[in-house]
Amino acid sequence: MVSVEADVGQVLENGRPGVRPAGRGAKVSRCALARAQTAEGKLAKSDLGRARLIDQNRAYRAQLRHDFWT
């Protein structure tokens, strides 16, 4: 048990052996980059669709108010 605690303490102090932190200039795999770009594209499309629906709803409510008062 003592060796495990020592290993845990060493990991906490020095980080995991063989794993470098991803800092500036870190290399990213093409697969990871493609996944991130795909997710970003899907999010942008969903945001665009959501904005379009909000605008349509806003215009519809404005038309209803206008029709109600005329």
Q: Determine the Cα–Cα distance for residues 12 and 66; give it in Å rounded to an integer.
A: 65
Query: How far, in Å, are 5, 6, 16, 22, 53 from residue 19 at the CA level?
Result: 20, 19, 6, 9, 45
Higher per-residue pLDDT: 30 or 9: 30
Residue from 13, 33, 12 nearest 22 by CA = 33
At position 7, the amino acid (one-letter code) is D
Mean pLDDT, rounded, of the chain: 72
* Average pLDDT of the residues in 38-55: 86
pLDDT number for residue 60: 92
